């Protein structure tokens, strides 16, 4: 192939303009109604997203409308950096301001677990699910995102999305074995989920507690959560663009996640 | 006998909503002493410390011996109605709109003769009556002549209802129904005959014990309301603000920390977000409609209740940041009262001591039961009281604070409840 980088970019521009490459938004809208992660009340809490008007073409500012917003780093559709977890705290370049920017544009493999999750909100992704995926769509390349499609983002009612009962939260996530397989055998870039966290709602009771956070971040990998529209992505071949805000020593940030998708895919 | 207040018919929407005209509100500084006692439900008059003469009306110097030492003393109010009259005409707008209106002159057994508004059950003079002090719609103290022995529905007397904020047939917003106090207040309002009790429900995914049972009450409707969220507060005010007659702000965040016991400011900020800014957001959103409906029929908008804390008076260091947030809320509640009084809406501040809930689990009794706190709030609304210190701890702190705030500060610093 003697295609130059300039040819590739020009081709991409043409494909985007012509609709042969589409852009899919994988982001939930930031609003105060969107659920925040809930910890026991005596612990420190992630501030939920809040927005207050500065002015709206009124006596506070006659010609303009703007707001102040506030939120924790882990609000809405957001990115988790390795420094977020104790297992990743001593790694180099482990915060959102120092992560190599190349990692913010990467291919994505989408493993569809929506049939299993339909019957079992506590469903845990298994190594067998990954092998099934690879048998159909090819081996997960090193440096790719693995996204667990569960259609959880279609639960628009915050109560159904959080899915709490007396024993805590019931949302899907990966098993310990699946996380270790992805990190150790496939060298993935990170793991993404549609639910409120990359780990399952009952992930605290796995070994170790919150295995996706523990192993992914311990190996310098990343997390994406509260994703939506994963059903619009092909199992393989999408390209993710997901740069978090450049917060000094930030453990994560809300972000806009976009996917480039071939129209014929 | 007073006829019980029936549920009023629905409002005719083509008629102008009647606006409030307040009763005469001017009082001299000394006369405000009568108000200060009435604000807590007491009837007090000045008694000369030198010659013992009872004073009425309030004055600077004793009418008998000219002594300036005239401390306020609680009165039983027992006395005899000497004369009564019924106003059929008044140039004052408040009374003009409420005629006929009965007035009387009572000779108190303790000495003075006083002018009173007469309860409908008081017979013709001469007869025995009991005099009490109440705050009127202007927030000023007036004296009321009650029958010696009232009947079951005496609270429904039309004159007396002008002085009180009875929840009966009214529409009440309880801003947070997730706490034991919020739930107890919502239940108490339903029991007190409230027509509708809207109960705020923040973070709907957190189902807390008791909420489902509360929502099953016929009067209760859960509404999404998060006082930390400007949009949520404004949306609810847009939906129901024009119907709410009584706001009871039960939203409270309480974490037991001083300065050194917890690193960072996140918890203290959250306390301020709920306890102080929450009140500010609610007041900005719900205040205007409440003010505009202060004379809207027999069950007009009438009161705003703030759940404060006796820690607002003096900081309790082991709950230091909470105390500070409640002190801020108290200051804001005074501002709210000043702004609402001109519209005829009463602001009731409630100062409980430690409440028997999960955040006071380690505190030894006495602790105030949420149901007792709720009863105290209903009673305050029925009695037209402005400041409530429910329970033994609150009463004791109040007495110590009034006696000497500096001494109390030092005692509390040493952990002394």
Give one DSSP letter per residue of A47-98, joined into a string.
PPPEEEEEEEEETTEEEEEEEEEE--SS-SSEEE-GGGSGGGTTSTT-STTT
Q: Does A38 touch chain B (CB under 8 A)?
A: yes
Report pLDDT for B1: 79
With a threshold of 0.90, tell me whether the complex ipTM lies above it: yes
Report pLDDT for B417: 57
Q: Is residue B416 predicted with pLDDT exceeding 90?
A: no
Give the containing element (helix H, strand E) for B254. none
Interface of B with A (CB under 8 A): 203-207, 226, 228-232, 255, 264, 266-267, 270
Q: Is residue B224 predicted with pLDDT exceeding 70?
A: yes
Going by pLDDT thresholds of 50, 70 and 90, the confidence category of residue B380 is: very high
Report pLDDT for A73: 98
> Does the residue A94 lie in any domain?
yes
For the ranges B7-11, B199-203, B310-314, which has the lowest average pLDDT? B7-11
Count: domains in chain A: 1
CATH topology of domain B171-413: Rossmann fold (3.40.50)
The 10s digit of each residue's pLDDT in A76-99 is 999 999 999 999 999 999 999 999
Going by pLDDT thresholds of 50, 70 and 90, the confidence category of residue B306 is: very high
Taking the CA of residue B229 and the nearest CA in chain A, the distance in Å comes to 6
> Does the residue A59 lie in any domain?
no
Residues of A in contact with B204 (CB under 8 A): 158-159
Q: Is residue A2 predicted with pLDDT exceeding 80?
A: no
What value does the mean pLDDT of chain B take? 96
Going by pLDDT thresholds of 50, 70 and 90, the confidence category of residue B247 is: very high
Owner of token pair 């399952």: A200
Q: What is the mean pLDDT of residues B160-165?
A: 94
Q: What is the mean pLDDT of residues B320-332?
A: 98
DSSP category for residue B209: T
Q: Does A32 touch chain B (CB under 8 A)?
A: yes
Terminal C-alpha separation, chain A: 22
Q: Is residue A1 predicted with pLDDT exceeding 70?
A: no
Structural contact between residues B380 and B350, judged by C-beta atoms closer than 8 angstroms? yes
- Of the candidates A32, A38, A44, the beta carbon closest to that of B206 is on A38
Q: Is residue A265 predicted with pLDDT exceeding 60?
A: no
Q: Is residue B221 predicted with pLDDT exceeding 90?
A: yes
Residues of B in contact with A165 (CB under 8 A): 207
Residues of B in contact with A164 (CB under 8 A): 205-207
Report pLDDT for B196: 98
The parent domain of residue A120 ranges over 21-36+73-262
> Does the residue A103 lie in any domain?
yes
The 10s digit of each residue's pLDDT in B229-244 is 999 999 999 999 999 9
If 0-12 CB within 10 Å is exposed, 13-18 middle and 19+ buried, where does residue B191 land? middle
Strands A173-174 and A124-125: parallel
The 10s digit of each residue's pLDDT in A213-247 is 999 999 999 999 999 999 999 999 999 999 999 99
Q: Is residue B2 predicted with pLDDT exceeding 80?
A: yes
Percentage above 70 pLDDT, chain B: 100
Going by pLDDT thresholds of 50, 70 and 90, the confidence category of residue B124 is: very high
> Does the residue A128 lie in any domain?
yes
| Domain CATH for A32 | 3.50.30.50
DSSP category for residue A204: G
Report pLDDT for B256: 85
Report pLDDT for B331: 98
Instruction: Mark yes or no for CB contact B205/A162 under 8 Å.
Output: yes
Instruction: Mark yes or no for CB contact B264/A53 under 8 Å.
Output: no
Q: Where in chain B is the domain with CATH 3.40.50.720?
A: 171-413
Known active-site residue A84: yes
Going by pLDDT thresholds of 50, 70 and 90, the confidence category of residue A174 is: very high
pTM, two decimal places: 0.95
Instruction: Mark yes or no for CB contact B205/A35 under 8 Å.
Output: yes
Report pLDDT for A118: 97
Give ∠ CA A135-A189-A16 in degrees, rounded to 5.
Answer: 85
Q: Is residue A102 predicted with pLDDT exceeding 60?
A: yes
């Amino acid at each position: 192939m003697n295609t130059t980088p300039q040819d590739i970019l020009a081709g991409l521009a043409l494909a985007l303009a012509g609709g042969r490459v589409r852009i899919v938004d994988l982001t939930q809208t930031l609003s105060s109604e969107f659920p925040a992660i809930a910890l026991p009340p005596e612990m420190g809490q992630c501030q939920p997203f809040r927005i207050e008007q500065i002015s709206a073409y009124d006596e506070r500012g006659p010609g303009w409308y703007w707001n102040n917003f506030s939120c924790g780093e882990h609000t809405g559709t957001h990115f988790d950096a390795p420094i977020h977890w104790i297992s990743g705290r001593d790694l180099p370049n482990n915060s959102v301001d120092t992560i190599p920017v190349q990692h913010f544009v990467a291919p994505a493999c989408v493993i569809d677990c929506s049939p299993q999750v339909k019957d079992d909100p506590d469903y845990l992704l298994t190594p067998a699910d990954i092998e099934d995926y690879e048998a159909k769509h090819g081996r997960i390349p090193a440096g790719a995102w693995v996204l667990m499609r569960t259609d959880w983002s279609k639960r628009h009612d915050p109560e159904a999305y959080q899915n709490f009962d007396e024993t805590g939260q019931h949302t899907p996530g990966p098993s310990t074995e699946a996380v270790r397989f992805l990190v150790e055998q496939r060298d993935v870039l990170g793991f993404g989920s549609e639910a409120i966290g990359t780990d399952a709602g009952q992930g605290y009771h796995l070994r170790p507690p919150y295995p996706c956070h523990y192993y992914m971040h311990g190996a310098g990998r990343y997390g994406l959560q509260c994703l939506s529209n994963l059903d619009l992505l092909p199992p393989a071949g999408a390209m993710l663009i997901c740069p978090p805000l450049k917060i000094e020593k930030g453990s994560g940030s809300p972000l806009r996640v976009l996917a480039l998708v071939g129209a014929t895919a | 006998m007073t006829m019980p207040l029936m549920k009023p018919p629905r409002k005719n929407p083509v008629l102008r909503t009647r606006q409030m005209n307040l009763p005469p509100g001017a009082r001299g500084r000394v006369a405000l002493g009568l108000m200060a006692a009435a604000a807590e439900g007491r009837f007090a008059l000045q008694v000369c410390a030198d010659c013992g003469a009872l004073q009425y009306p309030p004055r600077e110097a004793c009418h008998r011996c000219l002594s300036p030492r005239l401390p306020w003393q609680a009165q039983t109010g027992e006395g005899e109605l000497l004369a009564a009259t019924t106003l059929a005409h008044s140039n004052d707008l408040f009374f003009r709109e409420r005629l006929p209106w009965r007035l009387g002159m009572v000779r108190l057994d303790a000495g003075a003769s006083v002018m009173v508004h007469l309860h409908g059950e008081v017979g013709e003079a001469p007869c025995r009556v009991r005099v009490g002090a109440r705050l009127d719609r202007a927030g000023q103290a007036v004296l009321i002549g009650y029958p010696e022995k009232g009947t079951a529905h005496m609270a429904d007397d039309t004159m007396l209802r002008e002085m009180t904020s009875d929840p009966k047939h009214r529409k009440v917003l309880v801003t947070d129904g997730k706490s034991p106090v919020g739930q107890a207040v919502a239940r108490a309002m339903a029991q007190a005959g409230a027509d509708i009790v809207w109960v705020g429900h923040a973070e709907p995914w957190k189902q807390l014990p008791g909420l489902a049972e509360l929502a099953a009450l016929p009067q209760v409707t859960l509404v999404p309301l998060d006082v930390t969220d400007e949009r949520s507060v404004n949306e609810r005010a847009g939906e129901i603000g024009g119907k709410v007659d009584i706001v009871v702000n039960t939203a409270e965040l309480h974490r037991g920390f001083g300065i050194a016991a917890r690193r960072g400011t996140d918890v203290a900020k959250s306390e301020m977000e709920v306890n102080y800014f929450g009140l500010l957001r609610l007041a900005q959103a719900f205040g205007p409609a409440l003010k505009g409906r202060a004379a809207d029929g027999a069950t007009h908008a009438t009161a705003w209740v703030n759940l404060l804390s006796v820690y607002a008076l003096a900081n309790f260091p082991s709950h230091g940041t909470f105390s500070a947030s409640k002190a801020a809320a108290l200051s804001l509640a005074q501002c709210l009262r000043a702004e609402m009084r001109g519209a005829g809406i009463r602001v009731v501040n409630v100062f409980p001591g430690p409440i028997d809930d999960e955040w006071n689990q380690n505190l030894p009794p006495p602790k105030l039961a949420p149901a007792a706190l709720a009863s105290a709030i209903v009673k305050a609304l029925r009695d037209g009281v402005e400041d409530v210190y429910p329970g033994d701890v609150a009463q004791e702190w109040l007495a110590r604070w009034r006696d000497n705030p500096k001494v109390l500060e030092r005692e509390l610093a040493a952990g002394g409840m």
